[in-house]
Amino acid sequence: MLMGISSLIYDTWMKETQFKKYDGILDMLLQNQVPLDGKVLDVGIGTGLFEDYLGGKGVELDVVGVDVDKKMLEEAKRKGYLVMLANAEKLPFEDESFDLVISIDMINSIADKAAVIQEIKRVMKPGAYAVISHFCNNYTKNQVWKKMEALTRPFEVIDARITGNVDNEMTVAFLVRKGGNE
């Protein structure tokens, strides 16, 4: 999360960069036939820019979003998204509540990344999917890839790719699945 950036300018400033990343993430979801009709959690929803992107592609999600930035949440709420102020390291949901968890470029700003991964896994239904990404650039992509491999070990990795603008900001995105008997 880019704390301190006005929610009023975030969407405009980040839209082009983020949408290039989102193209690859949506492609990953569609190619792997991830159901998009269940209950979805967006950890680090910000202003709801990913949901805006999906809506522009004709994909509507039953999403609830959490974030720690009140101003970003106000903008997402203004857009009509169901949001709540919450810390990713202690999600306020019951175990096995979600069919899909999305966390795009949020985990990089968290000190205890393993705690976030455990929380994401906890709130996923058996057999549910998660997309977890960590932003990078040309200089950090290999290091970030290795970090994401380690972080996603509690899951079955379905797909992993680098997406975004290769000359600027990219993201390492992992599509993972929670086992059915965990």
How confident is the model over 143-152, as a mean pLDDT? 96
> Tokens at residue 13, please?
């400033």
pLDDT tens across 61-86, in order?
Answer: 999 999 999 999 999 999 999 999 99
In the predicted model, what is the mean pLDDT of the chain? 90
Domains and CATH numbers, the chain: 37-177 (3.40.50.150)
Q: Please say whether the beta carbons of 99 and 125 come within 8 A.
A: yes
Which pLDDT band holds residue 137 (cuts at 50, 70, 90)?
confident
Amino acid at 31: Q
pLDDT tens across 1-16, in order?
Answer: 344 455 655 655 566 6
Q: Please say whether the beta carbons of 177 and 129 come within 8 A.
A: yes
pLDDT of residue 70: 94
pLDDT tens across 83-101, in order?
Answer: 999 999 999 999 999 999 9
pLDDT of residue 2: 42
Residue 166 has a CB neighbour count (10 Å cut-off) of 12
pLDDT of residue 1: 39
pLDDT of residue 8: 57
Secondary-structure percent of the chain, ordered helix, strand, coil, rounded to 5: 35, 30, 35
- Rounded to whole angstroms, the Cα distance separating 88 from 140 reads 24
Q: Please say whether the beta carbons of 115 and 151 come within 8 A.
A: no
- pLDDT of 169 > 50? The answer is yes
Query: What does pTM read for this prediction?
Result: 0.90
- pLDDT of 17 > 90? The answer is no
Q: What percent of the chain has pLDDT over 70?
A: 90
How confident is the model over 155-182, as a mean pLDDT? 88
- pLDDT of 182 > 90? The answer is no
How confident is the model over 120-145, as a mean pLDDT? 95
pLDDT of residue 165: 80
